[in-house]
Structure 1
Amino acid sequence: MQNSKQVDVGIMIYGKPYQTAVSLHTLYKYSKQHINKIYVTFEKVQPFGFDMDELKALLEGLPVVYNVSERFFGFQNLSSNSIKQKLKFLIPSYRKSVRYQYAWEEAKMPYLFLMHNDMLFSGDLIGKYLDVIGTDIAAGSIGQCWNCPAFNKGCVDQQYYDYRPSSQELLELYKDWPHDRASSMGLLGEGKVSWPLPECRLNEFVALFNIPAARKLVFPRGKARLFGLKNSIDFGIPWFQDISHMGIKLRHTSYDTHAEHGWCSNHAGGTQSLTNENLYVREEEIAKTYFEEKCK
């Protein structure tokens, strides 16, 4: 049995008040014995008439610390390792506007649990992650395997660390592959990083960090790029590449027995609804009904 109150939670908010409320209330229902504070960071820009005060009312009773980012980066690729970019990240207001970074720096507990605001929890996922993390710096689901041609062709989840194809082998794998994000973004070929594979990352919709150990590795204290940075494909990939090249292996474990991601969008993730107001409203109506029936 884990000690109580050893985890802080970090979540970024871009719209979706009712999905956020369901995410945090169901998390707290099953994992409150582990949770100290929940760091809720609002993006500076919000979609579709989002009302910050409405969400605060929905989260009443939870141990929430609120923050508003001073800058809005959205889906910008800020993963450059250039001196210019590093100098920008030395500015606290700039750095802490990166996804999850405020919670990453402010958390006081030995563990930090990061999550999306379109989760539905049905069990104590934090407890499960605490049980398996051991001495590793992070635990969670590794690999966007549904987008990767290597899945079940030499690599599955926890084997990512040992499956290291050459640049040419990776090109062969991607031939006729329908999910061609890596090739369309120019990430394949000679001179390109072939390991970790382009779609490989610690999926940030639910992940647990041994935060004192993880912080030491990340800029400005360490050489790894910030966890919440996006490259041309997705969030978390630059950090994952950096710590993997340092020789650090993460703890792969699934979440699907304890939680659902994108449950209002048929588990397709919530990105599409952020630019489609009709879809956004429909997903929020689903979440509102659930909240009123199960979370009040």
Structure 2
Amino acid sequence: MLKSIDVCINVYGKPWQTLCTLKSLIKYSGQHIDKIYLIKERDQPYNSNIDFIFKFLNNLIIYTPIKHQFWSTSTNLANEKERFTIRYQYGIEKSDKKYLFLTHNDVLYSGDILSDMLSKAEGMAGVGEIGQCWNCPANLIGVCNGEKFYEWSPTYNEIINLPLPYLRTTKELIDKSYPKPLPECRLNEWACLLDRDMMLKEQNLLDKNSIFGLTNTVDIGCAWFKYMSIKNYRFSHYNKNYVHGYWASNAGHPTLIDEAKYRLSEEEAMKYFYTHFSA
């Protein structure tokens, strides 16, 4: 069987969680996976040792950017080494597959997510969970969510009459010309399948919005999602067969900034690995 998908994962700490993430993905969907582009961030939190996990995986392409840059909108996109400091960008450009799967390094997979996503991928720029809806006023009042993203086509006036400001969304962030996608709309990068052909066709090194891993004022991927949506690309909502932040019981960032939570989640992931994958 021709392996049709490459995987890209940025690793900033969490080596045991990274290992369990990839092992669980391979367990259920390995028949689709060729190469795994592992972006080893140049800086690591709490002096984390990442390298020991490499011996457990045999299809890695390891890349270390010239600097650690988690959030940036000022990268010199014309400079390849600078561009490859952006999350996932090395894998996006270096893969030779039509499809690239992005995953955070703290996700437990519980089923064949890649077969499911491939079944939804035809004609789509990406497949995955649409929207950070828990942060969005449109979801708060029940008019929109990831599953019915394309069922609601509001005007600018409808959006600015939502209960604003709300968390990270303010009236100033609403685009009068293209009011939707809203600021929190994106294809969530913790588990998504991307059509590289579509991505690279639209990539413009003069326009930072065309780069997936750059952020708007809200989060990574939001500007790219809006950029692609304006160009009439569509996305398929999917949020099954995985748990994000499984070993910490929360999203990734809170764990990274709390050393006690970080170390506890790593201990849990180590136990999980030796229970499920060490044989």
Give the TM-score, by structure 1 length.
Answer: 0.87
Deviates further, 206-215 or 192-201: 192-201
Structure 1, unaligned stretches of length 5 or more?
A: 79-84
1:31-180 pair list within 5 angstroms: 31-57=29-55, 60-76=56-72, 78=73, 85=74, 88-151=76-139, 153-175=142-164, 177=166, 180=167
Q: Once the two structures are superposed, what CA deviation does each residue of 1:112-167 show, in whole Å capped at 9, x if it has no partner?
A: 11110011011110111011111212111111111112126322324323523334
SS in 2 for 1:157: coil
CA contact (8 A) 1:217 1:223 kept: no
Tell me which residue corresponds to 2:6.
Answer: 8
1:164-220 deviation per Cα after TM superposition (whole angstroms, max 9, x unaligned): 33344323212474xx11129x424x8585211111100111111121222111123
SS of 2:192 mapped into structure 1: strand
TM-score, with length taken from structure 2: 0.92
1:246 corresponds to: 231
| Aligned match of 1:21 | 19
Contact 2:208–2:214 (CA<8 Å) still a contact in 1? no
**Contact 1:19 1:119 survives alignment (8 Å):** yes
Aligned with residue 261 of structure 2, among 257, 263, 279:
279
Contact 2:164–2:170 under 8 Å retained in 1: no
> Equivalents in 2 of 1:14, 1:113: separation in Å?
18
Shift of 1:221: 9.2
* Residue of structure 2 aligned with 1:219, choices 204, 215, 236: 204
State the SS of the aligned residue for 1:89.
Answer: coil
> Aligned equivalents of 2:45 and 2:145: distance in 1?
37
Report deviation, 1:252: 1.6
Deviating more after overlay: 161-170 vs 18-27: 161-170
Moved over 6 A (4+): none
Contact 1:4 1:35 in 2 (8 A): no
Report sequence identity in percent.
Answer: 34
Contact 1:164 1:196 in 2 (8 A): no
Contact 1:141-1:203 at 8 Å conserved across structures: yes
Q: Specify the SS of the correspondent of 2:268.
A: helix
| Structure 1 position 54, deviation (Å) | 2.1
